[in-house]
Amino acid sequence: MSIDEKIKLIKQNTAEIVTEEELQELLKNKKQPVAYCGYEPNGPLHLGHFVTITKLMDLEKAGIKIKVLLADVHAYLNRKGTEEDIKKEVENWRKTIKAIGVNAEVVLGSSFQFKQDYQMDIMRLSQASTINRGLRSMQEIARDIENATISQLLYPLMQVVDIKYLNCDIAEGGLEQRKVHMIGKDMVKITNHPFIAIHTPLITSLKGPGSKMSKSIPGSGISVTDSYETIKDTIKKAYCPEKITKENPVLEIAQFIIFPRINKLKIKRPAKFGGDIEFSDYKGLEKAFEDGNVHPMDLKSAVTEYLELIISPIRKNWK
């Protein structure tokens, strides 16, 4: 694969790369760069996680080594559960990541985050960072940000230092991670570890525009533990107005989760409604939906079936 082909693959379904020029130089000068994405192990994976995981798979295809950080200490600091609760989730996440098909080195945060050098870097960053910037960086990440604790202000600084101690060239995450990554880019003189940030889009809540998908809000998202009937019922009720493509979560699921894993998406319809129709790429599906040639209920039925194909092998690994 040429560098141009790698760049095209990496750019596919990304919101931004900071910066593309740096990525080009990295791919030219390093035989096997390292990328990572971190996840708080505090409950089942949901479809929002699948967007970043799919991008990790693209990075792997582009010849980049993948690391997945199971951020157990981050989850605890972010008030996502007790130490015991989080510890129980770690093994579920290990098995699920493997079942999804990511060929990654899985690293537990607590395996290195208590080391003296790591903690000294946190202290150096804390001296150079304002409380206001720390709060802004956590607006879309923190639990109960209106009553933020000091522990949650440590979170973004740790995330920056993680990149250094995982020895990564690329930090990948959803757009909610952008402000944290920009702290790391701005503070590179302190960490002495430059990196490239790759951000993926956020899937709109299944309840409609105004917020991102979240499994903690009933009806907003779908997790890998949901049954077929739950997936079917949730998608059936999802926001998907006829001919509207912007902030349409059902179309976003097709674009960011289903199409990267299949060659064709088939929508089954009775002959009186035009019969079955197939799409080899997302642009074709989006255009047909926008023109009114695909009805929301037919789209929902197809998305339900493809999600079940993706989720069912993973579901059995979660206990």
Which of these ranges, 127-136, 161-170, 180-189, 258-267, has the smallest mean pLDDT?
127-136
Question: Identity (one letter) of the amino acid at 209?
Answer: P
Q: How confident is the model at residue 43 (pLDDT cuts 50, 70, 90)?
A: confident
- pLDDT over 90 percentage in the chain: 71
φ, ψ for residue 313, nearest 5 deg: -70, -25
pLDDT at 308: 95
Reduced 3-state DSSP string for the chain: CCHHHHHHHHHCCCCEEECHHHHHHHHHHCCCCEEEEEECCCCCCEHHHHHHHHHHHHHHHCCCEEEEEECHHHHHHCCCCCHHHHHHHHHHHHHHHHHHCCCEEEEEHHHCCCCHHHHHHHHHHHHHCCHHHHHHHCCCCCCCHHHCCHHHHHHHHHHHHHHHHCCCCEEEEEHHHHHHHHHHHHCHHHHCCCCEEEEECCCECCCCCCCECCCCCCCCCCECCCCHHHHHHHHHHCCCCCCCCCCCHHHHHHHHHHHHHCCCEEECCCHHHCCCEEECCHHHHHHHHHCCCCCHHHHHHHHHHHHHHHHHHHHCCCC
Residue 252 and residue 186 in one domain: no
Mean pLDDT for 73-84 is: 90
What per-residue confidence (pLDDT) applies to 148?
77
Which of residues 184, 200, 216 is at a domain's end?
200
**Integer Cα distance of 78 and 151 in angstroms:** 7
Across 117-140, average pLDDT:
90
CA triple 273-277-283, angle to 5 deg:
120
The verdict on 178 and 253 lying in the same domain is no
pLDDT of residue 142: 65
Q: Residue 161, exposed/middle/buried by CB under 10 A (0-12, 13-18, 19+)?
A: buried
Domain ranges, residue 310: 228-315
Tens of pLDDT, residues 249-270: 999 999 999 999 998 999 999 8
Contact 169, 36 (CB under 8 A): no
Q: Which among 182, 200, 218 is the end of a domain? A: 200
Q: How far apart are CA 209 and CA 247, in angstroms?
A: 6
Is 206 part of any domain?
A: no
| CATH number of the structural domain spanning residue 305 | 1.10.240.10
7 and 49 part of one domain: yes
Asked whether residue 111 is assigned to any structural domain, the reply reads yes
Give CA–CA dist 72/75, Å, rounded. Answer: 5
pLDDT above 60: residue 319: no
Confidence band of 98 (pLDDT split at 50, 70, 90)? confident
Same domain, residue pair 129 and 271 = no
User: Is the pLDDT assigned to residue 139 strictly greater than 80?
Assistant: no
Same domain for 184 and 42?
yes
φ, ψ dihedrals at 170, nearest 5°? -130, 135
Q: Is residue 144 part of a domain?
A: yes
Examine the domain organization and report whether 47 and 139 are in the same domain: yes
Q: Largest alpha-carbon pair distance within the chain?
A: 70
> What share of the chain has pLDDT > 70, as a percent?
97
Q: Is the pLDDT of residue 225 over 80?
A: yes
Shared domain check, 183 and 232: no
| Residue 310 CA to its chain's centroid (Å) | 16
Ranking 25-34, 87-96, 123-132, 200-209 by mean pLDDT, the lowest is 87-96
Residue 318 above 70 pLDDT?
A: no
Is the pLDDT assigned to residue 143 strictly greater than 70?
no
Q: Are residues 144 and 185 in the same domain?
A: yes
The mean per-residue pLDDT over the stretch 42-58 comes to 90
Return the closest-CA partner of residue 113 out of 184, 65, 189, 166: 166
Does the residue 298 lie in any domain? yes
Of 90-99, 239-248, 281-290, the least confident? 90-99
Structural domain includes residue 208 = no
pLDDT of 116 strictly over 80: yes
Give dist(CA 274, CA 294) in Å, integer.
9
294 CB-near residues (< 8 Å, 6+ apart): 267, 277, 285, 288
Q: Quote the number of domains for the chain.
A: 2
Same domain, 139 and 282: no
- Same domain? 191 vs 281: no
CATH number of the domain within which 182 lies: 3.40.50.620
Query: In the prediction, which pLDDT does 44 show?
Result: 84
Average pLDDT, the chain: 92
Residue 71 clears pLDDT 60, i.e. is over it: yes
Q: What is the pLDDT of residue 134?
A: 85
Judgement on whether residues 263 and 174 belong to the same structural domain of the protein:
no
Task: Give the pTM.
Answer: 0.91
Q: How far apart are CA 239 and CA 204, in angstroms?
A: 9
